[in-house]
Amino acid sequence: MRVLNVNHLLDPVSGGGTAERTLQLCKAFAAAGVECTVLTLDIGMDARRRAEFDGIRVITIPCLLRRFFVPRFSWHALKREVEAADVVHVMGHWTLLNALVFLAARSAGRPYVVTPAGALPIIGRSRLLKRFYNFLVGRRLVRQASGHIAITADEIAHFRDYGVATDRIAVVPNGAPTASNHPVDCDSFLARHGLKRGFVLFLGRLAYIKGPDLLLEAFGRIMSGIPDSDLVYAGPDDGMLPKLKEQASRRGMDKRVHFVGHVGGDDKACALQNCALLAIPSRQEAMSLVALEAAVHGKPVLLTDHCGFGEVEQAGGGRVAAVDAAALGDALAGMLADPAELQRMGSRLETFVKSRYAWDRAAARHVALFREATGKG
């Protein structure tokens, strides 16, 4: 089977969880003997990133306007790639690349499957533009797909809002990454950023939808009661960094809040290994990959009830709170009050995730859905 995967960003800095999801799925597809091609924009696709996709064909399209990810494309070349595939797998939602691939798939008579990865609700920036996108093409793109993949059960409601019947939606969760076994010099990482162990970690883009402002307010409410724990933001700026710094300064939190920028590789491992817990205060999120990364490092997780991963609390591996600074603050204070229980939470979450989430299982489920879409199930 030949699969064309479409994801406008494979950049590990700005692409976030969907970029990592694409990489891990493609590796699992290749291991299963599926011929996999990825169509993406050229943002962040340097030699190092391409090397991570070794053995996987990656087609990069130049980006003319980064603010709206406008591609410079050839319609004939795009349609040729679509026609060469048995099935097209479209990830995300709000991109011109997805719209173009949708039109090419309809023109070529190729089935396509959509995985929005939590992107369907209209939230964050450019809401009017998003409504216009849905009016022109977005709603048709979702409704007319041959298959619909939700990463969590919470996404089923998002699909229904687009007119997709529940029985047409398959829930396929993410897989957990594998923790590296090679030794890492974390003392250097901590010293470089002026950090002490046992901090609260935010790992992701500093974007409104990710809720970093909610976490900052929550931490400010309780920080006097947790003198040994700082708050660390590890992730690239997506428009909120100046506001967050101003908010921290205004509330006298400068020495307790640290912004270390994007972390990857060993630095990311060090951030996870040395935190007390991972906080995911998202206003909207499909199943968070960073929650799984925390789990394989034996760390508990605090997340909101809009993250689609309530199993964290059910497994005794963390807490789920409302999308509200006060609720997040109360949950955070409760978790940090008992360091021994925090360690037990991390161990329980590690056991739970390693037993249930694997990329080879996710890939096998995708392939089964692709075969159904092509009539070869």
d(CA 324, CA 373) in angstroms, rounded, equals: 40
> Cβ atoms within 10 A of the Cβ of 32, count?
14
Residue 334 has φ and ψ, to the nearest 5°, of -65, -40
pLDDT for 180: 65
pLDDT band for position 316 (50/70/90)? very high
Answer yes or no: pTM beyond 0.85: no
49, 11 Cβ separation under 8 angstroms: yes
89, 115 Cβ separation under 8 angstroms: yes
d(CA 122, CA 363) in angstroms, rounded, equals: 28
Q: Map out the domains of the chain as residue ranges.
A: 2-175+358-374, 186-356
Does domain 2-175+358-374 fall under CATH 3.40.50.2000? My reply is yes
| 21: enclosing H helix or E strand | helix 16-31
81, 4 Cβ separation under 8 angstroms: yes
d(CA 377, CA 369) in angstroms, rounded, equals: 8
pLDDT band for position 157 (50/70/90)? very high
Partners of 58 in the β-ladder: 38
| Residues 336-346: tens digit of each pLDDT | 999 999 999 99
Which of these CATH numbers, 3.40.50.2000, 3.30.9.10, 3.50.50.60, 3.40.50.850, describes 186-356? 3.40.50.2000
Tell me the average pLDDT across 295-305: 96
Q: Which residue has the tokens 């060090």?
A: 270
| Residues 43-82: tens digit of each pLDDT | 999 998 999 999 999 999 999 988 889 999 899 999 999 9
Tell me the average pLDDT across 305-321: 93
| Residues 186-212: tens digit of each pLDDT | 999 999 999 999 999 999 999 999 999
pLDDT for 66: 85
pLDDT band for position 377 (50/70/90)? low
In a 3-state reduction of DSSP, which class is residue 198?
Answer: coil
d(CA 361, CA 266) in angstroms, rounded, equals: 27
Q: Which residue has the tokens 């900052």?
A: 216
| Residues 122-137: tens digit of each pLDDT | 987 789 999 999 999 9
Give Rg (Cα) of the chain: 21
| Residues 222-261: tens digit of each pLDDT | 999 999 999 999 999 999 999 999 999 999 999 999 999 9
268, 241 Cβ separation under 8 angstroms: no
Average pLDDT over the chain, rounded to whole? 93
pLDDT for 285: 86
The answer to whether residue 374 scores a pLDDT higher than 70 is yes
pLDDT for 182: 66
Structure tokens belonging to residue 343 = 């360690």
The answer to whether residue 181 scores a pLDDT higher than 70 is no
Angstrom distances, CA of residue 156 to CA of 99, 147, 148, 367, 373: 22, 13, 9, 20, 19
Domains 2-175+358-374 and 186-356 share a fold: yes
pLDDT for 120: 95
What is the chain's percent helix, strand, coil content, to nearest 5? 45, 20, 35
pLDDT for 124: 78
Closest CA to 266 of 362, 167, 187: 187
pLDDT for 16: 79
| Residues 74-105: tens digit of each pLDDT | 999 999 999 999 999 999 999 999 999 999 99
5, 37 Cβ separation under 8 angstroms: yes
The answer to whether residue 287 scores a pLDDT higher than 90 is no
